[in-house]
Amino acid sequence: MERTEIESLGEFGLIQHLTQNNETRQASTLLSVGDDAAVIDHFGKQTVITTDMLIEGIHFDLMYTPLKHLGYKAVAVNLSDLCAMMATPSHITMSLAFSNRFSVEALDEFYEGVYAACEKYNVDLIGGDTCSSQKGFVISVTAIGEVTNDKFVTRDKAQVGDLICATGDLGASYIGLQLLEREKRIFLENPKVQPDLQEKAHVIGKFLKPEPRLDVVEWLQEQEITPTSMMDISDGLSSDILHICRQSNVGCIIYDEKLPIHSETKEIAMDFGLSGTSCALNGGEDYELLFTISQADYDKIVMSEKISVIGYITNPDEGTQLITQQGNKHKLVAQGWRAF
Amino acid sequence: MERTEIESLGEFGLIQHLTQNNETRQASTLLSVGDDAAVIDHFGKQTVITTDMLIEGIHFDLMYTPLKHLGYKAVAVNLSDLCAMMATPSHITMSLAFSNRFSVEALDEFYEGVYAACEKYNVDLIGGDTCSSQKGFVISVTAIGEVTNDKFVTRDKAQVGDLICATGDLGASYIGLQLLEREKRIFLENPKVQPDLQEKAHVIGKFLKPEPRLDVVEWLQEQEITPTSMMDISDGLSSDILHICRQSNVGCIIYDEKLPIHSETKEIAMDFGLSGTSCALNGGEDYELLFTISQADYDKIVMSEKISVIGYITNPDEGTQLITQQGNKHKLVAQGWRAF
């Protein structure tokens, strides 16, 4: 494979190279890449802004993460935060730091994924920064979206009696990561062993190429359902529902048997000596939506195959509980970020 | 000095700690730190967005950069990009990655600088991300500003005959950096030698604590002067004027004797065997504004002590030239980014 050194292009040549096929799709993009800053017209809508940083060795491992998937995922996880506000993504900025072990071709592959996500979600890449790092690949994305005035949904307005809903299925991404980590160990011990991941496409796909649930946001808007609270599931359901409960000053009951867990997740979890439930509760990186709705919206929600009702909001005194299939109660405990 | 380990707070505790005194000043900030994303109302104005990444060992050296100054500068350099569009800064997001050699107290010091810059420039910190890094301190800032519809100024509309203007003085930051690098070497050789930088406050200050020229943006607005093109000087005047020339498809003549260079810069440059002119042309990190105006605005500009007219825009055939004090012509050459 060809290898073009980044220094052969220089900073401005590199930016020019990486952005030459950058299309703008949004009428609101008045000025894109190439000046001190970009300019957006919001046409009277409110703007929703989020930002995330991804660090090699902490958030991703290039040994089993194809660069194209990484580019796609870096965009997707930010768009997921916008979806969690009921906002429609419109723009991103993308800053990168990389060492000289990266070639122009490697960056091209990464940007292929970035542009694929932009195309799929109708988002314009309007700015960024590229610089060198002494070690490791660093990605920082800021995503911008829009909402009709005051139609954004926060985490702090869940009401007692509201139904708790989750989209898609949970725990798959965590199991996908466990599989990839296992294959990495096997490969490092014996590089001749080829992995067979064909029948594991769902869990691997959920980990490597998560999709923000813009489809669900649009469906909720069509159905005129406004969640009372919403966030995306990035740290694991247990940890994330606690944010809603704390910020809304309520409690919750979640039913184990209602948790949406893919059969592939359950099967492979068993191989690892894990239960599907614990993966769903503590796995993280699902990038599904977690939201609460008024009971009056139940009849509408039940029509959607994408959404599961997994419990309900209680008085704060009742705490945050999981009801097992045997009817036992367990306190939900956050098992999120332990990066330090 | 007390040292609190970051892990003792956890991610959410840390964010809570760092943002507990975060004030919002802008009426447009509808939702700030603490949800999936922030929400801004633009009240019909257009939004200007820029982003920059700063990497330890590439962009800054913690050996001679106090963390408070670094926090201030990380904000300031982004606001400078907004000023370069004639935009008024309103919001920032700030993402950080740091290793466990950082204590909570160290981050507090950094944020003191961040908040000081926010206060001075009337900007709200509305979001961000904190994560661990395996090595080094990484800072990514996105800054958001506003302009009256279509009043932003790009780099691509300089016209033949326009006057070229620069704010403040140039080259000082580069000389400040040379001094600090020299003191570092001396210190590493003999830790007992104490630096005497008292009479070097201007150049050190320009390097450690640059100020975005929002004052000049506001003055231009008051005077109803709209530059035909504008950018900020971050890579050095030579490199930066070439951007304007290339993007506007024009040439330029710059007069050496018109370059605004502080007497302290000239004196210390001599110690290093450098000319003030070469520092001004190639130094970089000035964060002054470089802009072009119609000759009709000359009478207004000449009233400002903050602005120097340093040359004029020519036909593209005439190239990009520096006229020395002896009347010789030199081609201006970009000496910017050589980080790879």
Two tokens, residue A88? 């429609």
pLDDT at A337 > cutoff 50: no
Q: Which of B95, B103, B340 to mutate to test the interface with A (most CBs of A within 10 A)?
A: B340
Q: How far apart are CA B36 and CA B127, in angstroms?
A: 9
Q: Which of A17, A53, A150 to mutate to test the interface with B (most CBs of B within 10 A)?
A: A53
Q: How far apart are CA A228 and CA A230, in angstroms?
A: 7
Residue at A259 is within a domain: yes
- pLDDT for residue B16: 85
Residue at B289 is within a domain: yes
CATH number at residue A291: 3.90.650.10
Give residue B7's identity as a one-letter amino acid code: E
Same domain, A40 and A180: no
Q: Is residue A106 helix, strand or coil?
A: helix
Residue range B16-63, pLDDT digits in tens: 888 888 888 888 899 988 888 899 898 889 999 999 999 999 999 999
User: Would you tell me which residues 193-222 of chain A have a C-beta closer than 8 angstroms to some C-beta of chain B?
Assistant: none
Average pLDDT along chain B: 93
Same domain, B305 and B236: yes
pLDDT band, very low/low/confident/very high, at B167 (cuts 50, 70, 90): very high
Q: How far apart are CA B233 and CA B289, in angstroms?
A: 6
Query: Could you give the number of structural domains in chain A?
Result: 2
Same domain, B253 and B283: yes
Enter the ipTM: 0.91
Same domain, B171 and B269: yes
Same domain, A107 and A243: no
d(CA A199, nearest CA chain B) in Å = 34
pLDDT at B147 > cutoff 90: yes
Two tokens, residue A69? 């998937």
Residue range A165-188, pLDDT digits in tens: 999 999 999 999 999 999 999 989
Contact (CB<8Å) B55/A131: yes
Same domain, A169 and A134: no
Two tokens, residue A50? 């989020």
- pLDDT for residue B192: 83
Nearest alpha carbon to residue A269 among A166, A174, A167: A174
- The residue segments making up the domain with residue B19 are 6-147
% of chain A beyond a pLDDT of 90: 78
Q: Name the residue in chain A with its Cα closest to that of B243.
A: A35
Residue at A37 is within a domain: yes
Residue range A270-324, pLDDT digits in tens: 999 999 999 999 999 999 999 999 999 999 999 899 999 999 999 999 999 999 9
Q: Say yes or no: B100 contacts chain A, CB-CB below 8 A.
A: yes
Nearest neighbour of B6 by CB, restricted to A40, A53, A340: A340
Residue at A92 is within a domain: yes
Residue at A339 is within a domain: no
Q: Is residue A278 helix, strand or coil?
A: helix
Nearest neighbour of B152 by CB, restricted to A7, A10, A39: A39
Residue range B288-334, pLDDT digits in tens: 999 999 999 999 999 899 999 999 999 999 999 999 999 999 999 87
User: What average pLDDT does this structure show over B263-267?
Assistant: 97
Same domain, A100 and A177: no
CATH number at residue B68: 3.30.1330.10
User: What average pLDDT does this structure show over A251-271?
Assistant: 97
**Last residue within a domain, chosen from B120, B147, B174:** B147
Residue range A41-93, pLDDT digits in tens: 988 899 999 999 999 999 999 999 999 999 999 999 999 999 999 999 999 99
- pLDDT for residue B18: 87
**Residues B94 and B128 sit within 8 Å (Cβ to Cβ):** yes
Nearest neighbour of A127 by CB, restricted to B51, B58, B337: B51
Residue at A101 is within a domain: yes
**Residues A144 and A104 sit within 8 Å (Cβ to Cβ):** no
Contact (CB<8Å) A154/B31: yes
- pLDDT for residue B66: 95
Same domain, A226 and A318: yes
Same domain, B198 and B112: no
- pLDDT for residue B337: 42
- pLDDT for residue A255: 98
∠ Cα A308 A310 A315 (to 5°): 140
Residue at A234 is within a domain: yes
> In chain B, which residues have their Cβ closer than 8 Å to the Cβ of A340?
5-7, 100, 132
**Last residue within a domain, chosen from B147, B179, B201:** B147
Nearest alpha carbon to residue A275 among A257, A288, A289, A291: A257
Q: How far apart are CA A138 and CA A88, in angstroms?
A: 26
Q: Say yes or no: A58 contacts chain B, CB-CB below 8 A.
A: yes
**Last residue within a domain, chosen from A91, A122, A147:** A147
Same domain, A113 and A62: yes
Q: Say yes or no: A50 contacts chain B, CB-CB below 8 A.
A: yes
Same domain, B96 and B123: yes
- pLDDT for residue A339: 35
Same domain, A15 and A45: yes
Residue at B157 is within a domain: no
Q: How far apart are CA A82 and CA A76, in angstroms?
A: 10
